Amino acid sequence: MPVPWAVTDWEPFYILKGPNTQRGRMDRLKKALEERMVRYQFTDLYADMPRTLELWKQKRNVCSGAALKTPERESWAYFTAFSYQVPHRYMVVTAHSDFIMGLPQEPSLKTLLNQKKWKGVFVRDRSYGEEIDQILKQAEKRTPVFIKNTSEGYMALLQMIAKGRYDYTIEYESVVRAFNEKNYPAKPLLIKGMKESSSAVVFYLACTKNEWGRNVVLKADQVLQSLAGTKEYQSAVESWLDGETLKNSRKILDEFYQKRAKGPWTTVPEKASSGELPSDQ
């Protein structure tokens, strides 16, 4: 069974080129899943989350391995817990030193959006987590800048910030760090942690809400249960995290692995979860 899998330029989650190609966090998890779902043929489809959402709405078969679960997306896709992001900490990202120096120790997005001097930019149909999504929804009436992201991925948005086309955006610290390392010795982007962040969040594997997607999600859920306790899986989830973050997150990561290994963790209705699935034996 063919499984189109959405990938985008978003280091360290997906690494599409360079010496670490296919060694991103989601690349490694996808490979581990693919090796155990031998009757499913995984193929890369270049699509960020806004494009993936469009495809789901068109009932096109496609899966995403780095999705946050939102009520809108649940209308179009089935979900199963795939990975864990620690911390789920967004950073204010800018190329302007005077902008970053004028911010408090932990700036709030609500406050930033009220500053008319600086122009922020955000990706439409990308979820930044429930709290931030609600702030942006309320602010949309005051015309903050939203863009349909390019097919080049989220790194292209950071390029726009670096070139001064917009004053700031928000992104994960690990993504900005990867961007700066890739663009060295160019002037690095500047960051400061946002108030509207959390300690961790589940990243989901999500597939089109139809019979095809149901089958893929249910089979993947079974495989992920058996994988969750392995060094291979845990090493992939924890890849590209620094030692201090790993130390501080050890307890919450272990709790996630234990929960992921215990049983089904999907949005597929229980009455539908007992259907026959293709065997990998």
Q: What's the pLDDT score for residue 150?
A: 56
* Confidence at residue 89, expressed as pLDDT on a 0 to 100 scale: 87
Please determine, for residue 213, whether its predicted confidence score (pLDDT) is greater than 50: yes
Other Cβ atoms within 10 Å of 269 Cβ, number: 9
Least confident stretch, 4-8, 28-32, 60-64, 134-138:
134-138
Q: Please, which residues bridge with residue 85 across strands?
A: 201
Is the pTM for the entire model greater than 0.95?
A: no
3-class SS letters over 151-190? CCCCHHHHHHHHCCCCCEEEEEHHHHHHHHHHHCCCCCCE
Pull the structure tokens for residue 5.
């899998």
Average confidence (pLDDT) over 198-219: 96
Nearest to 217 by CA among 265, 257, 279, 263: 265
Q: Is the pLDDT of residue 194 over 80?
A: yes
Residue 87 is predicted with a pLDDT of 84
CA gap 171, 148 in Å, rounded = 16
Region 6-34: mean pLDDT is 95
Rounded to the nearest integer, the mean pLDDT of the chain is 91
Residue with tokens 């139809």, as numbered in its chain = 210
Task: Judge contact between 266 and 80, C-beta under 8 A.
Answer: yes
pLDDT above 70 for 165? yes
pLDDT at 278: 43
pLDDT grade for 280, boundaries at 50, 70 and 90? very low
Query: What's the confidence (pLDDT) of residue 273?
Result: 53
Task: Report the pLDDT value the prediction gives residue 197, as an integer from 0 to 100.
Answer: 86
Q: Quote the DSSP letter at residue 241.
A: -
Residue 186 has pLDDT above 90, yes or no: no
Residue 275 confidence class, pLDDT cut points 50, 70, 90: very low
Res. 149 pLDDT band, cuts 50 70 90: low
Q: What is the pLDDT of residue 276?
A: 46
Tokens of 232: 């291979």
Q: Using the predicted structure, report yes or no on whether residue 179 has a pLDDT greater than 60.
A: yes
Residue that the structure tokens 């495989």 belong to: 223
Q: How confident is the model at residue 21 (pLDDT cuts 50, 70, 90)?
A: very high
